[in-house]
Chains A and B, each alone.
Chain A
């Protein structure tokens, strides 16, 4: 394993972290459209909180996918072909929620507006759930041949562990979205989001405990990397508690940052457990290792130069765009 390979393994982790932190609250806001918003005016405001941002947030996924293709083509090829139907459903979900915001605003009848609102909500639920399910089942180990082709059955993808993983990620995204809503609104929407999260946090903690138990049973993380796995899990639980405290005390920033970081800690948990592999096979001899999966040193070198010269500029205007829309939105008056 070269240092460039490790650097790119970390960078893929950073890109997925960015994706889950940012698109995490997008998904949560999307779910909130129908489940949380009570009328059209409220839903307008809810969607407006992510209006200028959701598109840029989704680019983190595209960049993560592209970077994975560029730096670890064997990983990209195995994962994407092996999770064919899961990724297809994710794509459909992302399509529906992606167009829904623009389309909904221009519908004339109640029925069609409802249709696109449900598209946003169900699309967001499905995307978050399927991403959670995909990454959880991936770390369990999948049936893979020596060439990296995955020939899975239904239970490879859908089993107790992956279902719990999917639900946990969905719940974390919803909570993260509601924390974002508290940060970006005033009045009834903010108060109600706080009330919801007061209830949702205990549920999440139960879910996290269940997840840890199944993680212990279903993966080799504790056997191979006991200390680091435990540390990350403790950080995860601490972050959850801090976010809960932030919700209770109405410290919106604390709650939002902590719920975002807890999503990132899941990514860290997965990448830490994977290392030095990128794909875990049920037959350990077939697992794909970082050293075998990467592009040539030359390509990695080029990509490193590009990433370190372009990414800082991107981060500057990306963060600036959030600063431009820092103001809170008032909740609409009761209809």
Chain B
């Protein structure tokens, strides 16, 4: 079903999955952390409390590592469409390239220019101006999410296009329709909220580990507070946006929804929702499940009655719609187990994040020492810093596996999108190298972040743009004319 194995298609898919999953460890972390750091620095500007400046610099250090890895793994993504999926690029170029180019122009330049300014100008600008830099970085990185998701949303739900009769390729007819794609405006809040969760729970988790050691208690308690407030808002927002998004699927991508709920047969009016199911994916059957009544209907329609189509029904419908164009041999079933469990991981974690944030804020209230006494809670929060990364991945698994067998929904299959020039040998080679590279980068990231954490907030320095023995004056006779402003 997944076209696994050593074929050009299988290896290309594996490569795309591996590189995007790895890239997407850092993207939400960076987007969220830019925002968290911006909030911290703004609090420094507002309250003139040096502790918040230290906080912005300390967590900003981790942001810089994540940003660096995010940038370099991002270039892979942009190149990959042409390298591994040239037929896709030809088919989709008229629509897909535009958001990518706009992302680079309108978002990447903003982010990368102001991150450089932010890093090196702590002592050069007034605090308010300097805080503006990190806000611009945060805005830039969120904007880049808008454009990437605009491109992704077209693949999920093509709008504003026509098919060119002579080439058979997609042609854009309405840019505003592409940008207004409802899929995009459902996906975007969920992704941004996920980013907020990722950053805040990493900050909270790291703070928890240090609080267990009674290290810099006031610093980490303040960090924890900022993180958990943002984390609470983000996890509630994530649950809400996830709910809207899921219900949208019932109509637009019923196959994806049916698989998320593990339904092969249509659901009954009773609305049984499976906590656990096991499947026979070959025979398209649910072999056993543990059900709770009404929950499915509450989740799907926010009421007690109603039915949802199962995969078997949807499969028939899809055959009726697409057989003329794609033939009868198509398999429209999506990887049920992956979607079923990924969705459950997401939903349960979303609730857990909100719960932990509320309890954490309660224990951490100003006049109480409770947070230091509830060591079990600190351990849980410390371990939970890894969870957002798993949940983000699960989210993309649902979105992308659920689109199977299409690369562009209803228009182009994954099998038709791959580069005709690719070979198994070269793909095998690149997959192995990427894997080793990512393992190495991931390891360095963890080691460095751990080191920053261990060294503590006092060790972090973000000096200006000068080495220690530089007085920052130009002494060059040839330079004075060119540099006489100051």
Contacts and interface: CB of A to CB of B under 8 A. Distances in A.
Interface stretch (A167-175, A219-227, A229-237, A320-328): A320-328
A5 to B, nearest CB: 13
Nearest to A325: B465
Contacts of B68: 98-99, 101-103
Interface stretch (A65-73, A206-214, A262-270): A65-73
Interface string B454-486: 000000000001110111111110110011010
B94 A252 contact: no
Interface string A32-70: 000000000100110010011101101101110111111
A66 B101 contact: yes
Contacts of A85: 426, 430
A321 B117 contact: yes
A311 B105 contact: yes
Nearest to A49: B465
B376 interface: no
Contact of B173 (A70, A73, A298, A303): A298
Given A66-B97, A70-B98, A91 B470 contact: no
A318 B277 CA distance: 55
Nearest to B19: A91
Interface stretch (B106-114, B228-236, B360-368): B106-114
Interface in B119-160: 119-121, 124
B65 interface: yes
Given A52-B120, A69-B101, A73-B89, A296 B421 contact: no
A245 B90 CA distance: 47
B104 A62 contact: yes
Nearest to B68: A102
Interface of chain B, main secondary structure: helix
Given A41-B467, A62-B104, A80 B90 contact: no
Interface in B402-450: 419-422, 426, 430, 433, 437, 441, 444, 448
A285 interface: no
B103 interface: yes
Nearest to A251: B478
A84 B95 CA distance: 23
B116 A56 contact: yes
B100 A324 contact: no
B101 A63 contact: yes
Interface string A292-335: 00011011001100110011001001100100111111101100
Contacts of B173: 298
A66 B150 CA distance: 14
A24 interface: no
B72 A324 contact: no
Contact of B105 (A251, A295, A306): A306
Interface in B57-90: 64-65, 68-69, 71-76, 78-79, 81-84, 86-87, 89-90
Contact of A52 (B82, B420, B465, B482): B465
B94 A73 contact: yes
Interface residues of A, number: 79
B358 interface: no
B326 interface: no
B86 A78 contact: yes
Contact of A329 (B101, B105, B106, B466): B466
Contact of B421 (A70, A98, A151): A151
The size bracket of the interface on B is 35 or more
A140 B444 CA distance: 41
Contacts of A92: 433, 437
B175 interface: yes
A186 B473 CA distance: 10
Contacts of A329: 465-467, 470
Contacts of B72: 94-95, 98-99
A87 interface: yes
B102 interface: yes
A250 interface: yes
A85 B425 CA distance: 11
Given A73-B93, A303-B101, A318-B109, A91 B75 contact: yes
Contacts of A147: 420
A150 interface: yes
B460 to A, nearest CB: 11
B75 A62 contact: yes
A275 interface: no
B83 A88 contact: yes
A79 interface: yes
Contacts of B264: none
A273 interface: no
A65 B422 contact: no
Contacts of A69: 78, 81-82, 89, 93, 96-97, 100-101
B318 interface: no
A71 B467 contact: no
B97 A71 contact: yes
A302 B175 contact: yes
A84 B83 CA distance: 6
A51 B64 CA distance: 12
B469 A332 contact: yes
A143 to B, nearest CB: 11
A188 interface: no
B383 interface: no
14 contacts: A45-B467, A62-B75, A84-B422, A88-B430, A91-B76, A95-B72, A103-B65, A151-B421, A298-B171, A299-B171, A306-B98, A324-B124, A326-B483, A328-B479
Given A56-B113, A73-B92, A81-B421, 19 more contacts: A52-B116, A53-B116, A55-B115, A59-B104, A62-B78, A66-B101, A67-B97, A70-B101, A71-B101, A77-B89, A85-B426, A94-B72, A95-B441, A99-B444, A250-B478, A299-B175, A314-B105, A314-B109, A314-B110
4 nearest interchain CB pairs?
A: A73-B93, A80-B82, A70-B97, A69-B97
